[in-house]
A and B are shown apart, each in its own frame.
Chain A
Amino acid sequence: MRTPPGVSVGRYQQALRQFTDAVGRDFVYTSDADVDLYRDAYSPFRGENEEIVASAAIAPDSVEQVQQVMRIANEHRIPIYPVSTGKNLGYGGSAPVLSGSVVLDLKRMNRILEVNERNASALVEPGVSYFDLYRHIRERGYRLWVDVPDPGWGGLIGNALDHGAGYTVLPMRDHFDGHCGMEVVLANGDIVRTGMGALPGATTWQQFHYGVGPYVDGLFSQANFGVVTKMGFWLYPEPEAHRCGSVYVPRHDDVHAFVDILCYLTNSGICDSTIQFDSPMITAAAKDAAVAAIVNRRGGAAPSDWDHIAAERGLMSWGTKFHFYGPQKVIDARWEYVRERFGVIPGVKFTEGSAHRFPLTREQVEQVDPADKVSLGIPNLQIFAFGARTQDNPSPTSGHLWFSPVVPMSGEGLLTARRVFHDAFAEWDVAPLGSGLPYSFHARTFLFLYGFQVTADPAVNRRNRATFRRMIQLAAEHGWGEYRTHPAFMEPVTDAYSFNNHALRRLHETLKDAIDPNGIISAGRYGIWPRHLRQRRT
């Protein structure tokens, strides 16, 4: 039997007996076979001694059981690591940050407590997945959408707490921003409701974010100050219609005007879907050596060379697809206005995309292009299955990790970040997964997503980990930081946020010591260590 660090066998066994009394024998997992099910399936330490593993897992079924577990853990100083659905693969799974922690598996708490069609909101427990809520809504005929991320089997609460995002409209698309109200169990077993939930008898918990006084919800995201047992989410009233269209511009330096217009349109809400940047030139470089020599030139492409071969090949330089949702006449007008704004760029081309009117029948849902399902709020696993074996990819990965820095949403920001990252990968001879072009999931910012493969070869994984760390450092040198990361990199990623001698980290530690003085919750998550473990920081 594994034991948590710093806990005697006798005390641990006493705690396990009490956990068993709290949740039942069937839901305390201590055998190696059962605990191994909590390994991170995409661990970059696979097959190495450094792999982070749990000592046990406990699966409560109710908030009352969570409170009991926390009281017991607090009494015995047992490190606890809560997971909701445990499917944060690519950014961590169900394994803890501190090896030997006891996983608090909340998957059994999968109740959809309320769906309010008028308010377009839901209140759910941590084990509820996007598939669950989608199916629940459809089966009851609610005219509501839930914004979904790539992995439809992920949980609403876990994804929101790790700042995940989807594809439809803001604020729902930014899953933390789209939440409204929380219930949290603290380390001592006390229970807190945030926002209007703090007001006994309130009927507006999922309507007004703030309640009164300090807004503390952010303390429970990417952190370790409590165990979130309920969360409210705003849903999107099912729109009348959807249409999409693409905009492409021909020249290298058109990127500046293109992004400027894009910023105006997205910041003003005229375009309100996730932006996935595209470049037919960069795509062509994968199969055209002459194009590759120009677009992948160290130090950045020469615009005149780029434009010359783009014209020669008949390739556009930059573009994106816009999805519009709403009344038909409104989205038609918005698309017309988008074309008008981009129409000032000489040579711009527009392409019409798919269109839908809602509600969709089940047959229509199944006919939606799999790559577009997330844009219509339909949970699935198609995009998430990055690196899986396909006819074009005969050598599948064993998982992936995402390096995901936030960069300025500007043409200059795009070009500079692409050049810096591309040159580094080339110098270090690493070929990351992904397009190497930015997304805009969250408001007013670009996000680059570079995938690192997890393989069965520890030597490759070691090399990828080293490269990942170098990329974190390189990004920080340019003023770019990650929005989210795997536990293997939480220390260097948060270390980069070092303004004023790590003032933010010091504040987090002050809060940690006050709210969880025994340091039992998710030690090390996002670089926040309890006092007795701070010497672990490297």
Chain B
Amino acid sequence: MRRAALTLPLLALAAASAPVAAGDAPATSAWSAFAPPAGATPGRTVFWNYCEACHGDGPGKPGTAALAAKYNGAKPALLEQRTDLTPDTVKTFVRNGVSIMPIFRKTELSDADLAQLADYLARR
């Protein structure tokens, strides 16, 4: 976990008894409301952190709804259930975007994370 420098005066002066958490930073900057499931593989962890909010299961997932409308049952709407994805396909969509899905920069999703994600979604 990344930790903030603890030399800032405001942090150093926080009263010990105050209900304050200082210096805690997220392990990663993620786009999901909850941490990945326990025991998730590295690839599934990346998917959870960066893709699940749009491409996860359940209502309110615009990416899944879009793919359901696009394929109309011909292919699974859930990316994690697809069997036709290649690593290069995944990387192309992430780095170029499609429809309202924007481009994702390397500071958001590193090449290393993207490689794990691509392998995970292409595993079938």
Interface residues of B, dominant DSSP: loop
- The answer on a CB contact under 8 Å between A203 and B13 is yes
Task: Report if A381 contacts B (CB, 8 A).
Answer: yes
- The answer on a CB contact under 8 Å between A132 and B30 is yes
Number of cross-chain contacts by CB at 8 Å:
177
From known contacts A34-B106, A391-B68, infer whether A110 and B31 are also in contact, taking CB-CB under 8 Å.
Answer: no
Among listed B21-29, B78-86, B115-123, interface-contacting one: B21-29
Closest B residue to A197 by beta carbon equals B10
- Selected A-B contacts with CB under 8 Å, 14 pairs: A34-B106, A42-B102, A94-B105, A105-B107, A110-B2, A111-B2, A111-B4, A129-B30, A132-B29, A140-B24, A202-B9, A203-B15, A369-B59, A389-B70
Residues of A within 8 A of B9 (CB): 200-202
Distance in angstroms between the alpha carbons of A308 and B32 in the assembled complex = 49
Distance in angstroms between the alpha carbons of A97 and B46 in the assembled complex = 32
B81-117 interface code vs A (CB 8 A; 1 in, 0 out): 0000000000000010101111111111000000000
From known contacts A113-B23, A135-B34, A138-B33, infer whether A388 and B106 are also in contact, taking CB-CB under 8 Å.
Answer: no
Residues of A within 8 A of B29 (CB): 85, 107, 110, 127-129, 132
Range, interface on chain B = 35 or more
Distance in angstroms between the alpha carbons of A370 and B32 in the assembled complex = 14
- The answer on a CB contact under 8 Å between A37 and B105 is yes
Residues of A within 8 A of B102 (CB): 41-42, 87, 89, 93, 399
Task: Report if A468 contacts B (CB, 8 A).
Answer: no
Closest B residue to A391 by beta carbon equals B69
B55-77 interface code vs A (CB 8 A; 1 in, 0 out): 00011111101101110000000
- The answer on a CB contact under 8 Å between A385 and B8 is no
CB proximity of B2 to chain A, nearest CB, Å = 7
Residues of A within 8 A of B10 (CB): 114, 123, 197, 202-203, 205
Distance in angstroms between the alpha carbons of A111 and B34 in the assembled complex = 17
Per CB-CB distance, the 8 closest pairs between chain A and chain B, nearest first, are A370-B60, A385-B62, A41-B102, A117-B19, A111-B25, A389-B66, A107-B107, A110-B29
Distance in angstroms between the alpha carbons of A62 and B4 in the assembled complex = 9
From known contacts A29-B106, A203-B13, A370-B60, infer whether A388 and B100 are also in contact, taking CB-CB under 8 Å.
Answer: yes
Residues of B within 8 A of A398 (CB): 99-100
Task: Report if B14 contacts A (CB, 8 A).
Answer: yes
Distance in angstroms between the alpha carbons of A391 and B62 in the assembled complex = 11
- The answer on a CB contact under 8 Å between B66 and A390 is yes
Distance in angstroms between the alpha carbons of A477 and B48 in the assembled complex = 49
A residues adjacent to B (C-beta < 8 A): 27, 29, 34, 36-39, 41-42, 57, 59, 62, 85-87, 89, 93-94, 105, 107-108, 110-118, 123, 127-129, 131-132, 134-136, 138-140, 142, 152-153, 197, 200-203, 205, 362, 365-366, 369-371, 373, 378-382, 384-391, 393-394, 396-400
Residues of A within 8 A of B35 (CB): 135, 139
Closest A residue to B59 by beta carbon equals A370
CB proximity of A248 to chain B, nearest CB, Å = 26
Distance in angstroms between the alpha carbons of A113 and B9 in the assembled complex = 12
Residues of B within 8 A of A118 (CB): 18-20
Residues of B within 8 A of A378 (CB): 33
- The answer on a CB contact under 8 Å between B97 and A41 is yes
- The answer on a CB contact under 8 Å between A108 and B13 is no
CB proximity of A362 to chain B, nearest CB, Å = 6
Closest B residue to A400 by beta carbon equals B100
Residues of A within 8 A of B108 (CB): 85-86, 107
Residues of B within 8 A of A132 (CB): 26, 29-30
Closest B residue to A154 by beta carbon equals B31
- The answer on a CB contact under 8 Å between A116 and B105 is no
From known contacts A131-B31, A152-B31, A396-B100, infer whether A116 and B60 are also in contact, taking CB-CB under 8 Å.
Answer: no
Identify which of A117, A197, A385 contacts B54 (C-beta below 8 A): A385
Residues of A within 8 A of B60 (CB): 370-371, 373, 380, 382
CB proximity of A395 to chain B, nearest CB, Å = 10
- The answer on a CB contact under 8 Å between B105 and A107 is yes
Closest B residue to A373 by beta carbon equals B60
Distance in angstroms between the alpha carbons of A371 and B70 in the assembled complex = 22
Closest A residue to B32 by beta carbon equals A131
